[in-house]
Amino acid sequence: MTSTPHPLLDVRDLVTCFRLPQGELRAVDGVSFTLAPGRTLGIVGESGSGKSVLARSIIGLLSGAALGRLAGEVRFAGEDLRAASERRMRQIRGREIAMIFQDPMTSLNPVMTVGRQIAQVLRQHTDLAEKAARARAVELLAEVGIPDPAQRAEEYAYRMSGGMRQRVVIAIALACNPRLLIADEPTTALDVTVQAQILDLLRRLQDRHDMALILITHNLGVVAEMCDEVGVMYAGRLVERAGTAAVLHAPRMRYTEALLHSAPRLDSTPHARLPVIPGAPPDLMRPIPGCAFAPRCAHASAQCREHAPALSGAAAHVHACWHPA
């Protein structure tokens, strides 16, 4: 009997809380999922739902006095990242797991050329000499579609367009051929043409390197185009997870259904009002006795307001809803 191989990433009951003057804020609340090599998981949800905090919790980028509690398991290729030392995590970050942040300018050093920044990552994680690392940096800029890469390698980020800076960030993230890439809103503030180019680039690079991808986005069109599976987050919890087609065309959780209805449609009539989800997300500083979406849900019952539903359903499509669609 052959044993089932470990998933590349296995997250179990992850909890992230911040200690604030007003009390404890539960930003990520018991999130669990797995991700196989070469697959793409989309994470969607409203602003403040915990998507970015989840990403930073996975790779250990949260620290300081504000971090109150971090619990649960994060296993990467079978290794327990929660038990790893900071030195070990520095080896993993950049080499095994890389991350693209929302704003490329916050990721790039304004007083260092982009070529030198890429070379610095290569020198830190590989045995390349300085000259070889600089040459490889130029190759990486060419690989992500930057014209005149040798010339651009000598430029500073502030002299580049938003799309060009995002390509540089991708080049840095992919410098060491990571096995997992986490992209947090990688196309934010880019026009639609550049968005399409960046997404096409990510897809081609993923296929070439058999890289797993976690794509955090508000854009459901991006999810439809890029993702194999989708996880929907609300108030720090994962409330639905399934294959992309199932989530987009047959959602079970009422929040997912409302989220899809509030997305702009090409076939809407002129001047038609965009449907919105009434109310606002709950205050995560206060205990939530039942379903966090109940105050905004037209289908909520007394059961919804008093008891929080657990994820249920077939393994291929789980949801947390007492009255599924």
pLDDT band at 262 (very low <50, low <70, confident <90, very high): confident
Q: What is the mean pLDDT of residues 264-276?
A: 73
Furthest-apart CA atoms within the chain: distance in Å: 67
Read off φ and ψ for residue 240, nearest 5 degrees: -160, 145
Query: How far, in Å, CA of 316 to CA of 77, rounded?
Result: 22
Q: What is the mean pLDDT of residues 151-166?
A: 92
Question: At residue 228, does pLDDT exceed 60?
Answer: yes
**C-alpha 120 chain-centroid distance:** 25
Query: How far, in Å, CA of 14 to CA of 58, rounded?
Result: 9
pLDDT band at 186 (very low <50, low <70, confident <90, very high): confident
What DSSP letter does each residue of 165-196 carry, written as one string? HHHHHHHHHTTT--SEEEEESTTTT--HHHHH
Gyration radius (Cα) of the chain, Å: 21
Residue 208 or 75, more confident: 75
Provide the number of structural domains found in the chain: 1
Residue 27 in any domain: the answer is: no
Question: At residue 121, does pLDDT exceed 60?
Answer: yes
The pTM for the full model equals: 0.91
Residue 188: the pLDDT is 75
Residue 5: the pLDDT is 55
Read off φ and ψ for residue 318, nearest 5 degrees: -110, 150
Question: At residue 145, does pLDDT exceed 90?
Answer: no
Q: Rounded to the nearest 5 degrees, what angle is found at the Cα of 256, between the Cα atoms of 60 and 11?
A: 25
Question: At residue 2, does pLDDT exceed 50?
Answer: no
Residue 240 in any domain: the answer is: no
Residue 3: the pLDDT is 44
- Residue 82 is classified by DSSP as G
Residue 324 in any domain: the answer is: no
CA distances (Å), 4 to each of 7, 74, 80, 198, in order?
9, 18, 18, 34
Residue 73 in any domain: the answer is: no
For residues 183 and 202, is the Cβ–Cβ distance under 8 A? yes
Condensed to tens digits (0 to 9), the pLDDT of residues 41-61 reads 999 999 889 999 999 999 998
Residue 69: the pLDDT is 85
Residue 253: the pLDDT is 96
CA distances (Å), 185 to each of 35, 36, 101, 195, 300, in order?
19, 21, 7, 11, 31
Residue 101: the pLDDT is 86
Residue 108 in any domain: the answer is: yes
Give residue 116's domain range: 103-177
Q: What is the pairing mode between strands 40-44 and 229-234? A: parallel
- Residue 130 is classified by DSSP as H
Residue 4: the pLDDT is 45
Lowest-confidence region among 8-22, 63-77, 293-307:
63-77
Residue 161 in any domain: the answer is: yes
> Cβ of 1: how many Cβ atoms within 10 Å?
2
Q: What is the mean pLDDT of residues 11-30?
A: 93
Residue 143: the pLDDT is 87
Condensed to tens digits (0 to 9), the pLDDT of residues 23-39 reads 899 999 999 999 999 99
Q: What is the mean pLDDT of residues 160-187?
A: 91
Exposed e or buried b for every residue in 266-300, given b needs 16+ CB within 10 A?
Answer: eeeeeeeeeeeeeeebbebeeebebbbbbbbbeeb
Question: At residue 266, does pLDDT exceed 80?
Answer: no
Residue 151: the pLDDT is 95
Residue 148: the pLDDT is 94
Residue 154 in any domain: the answer is: yes
Residue 172 in any domain: the answer is: yes
Average pLDDT, the chain: 90
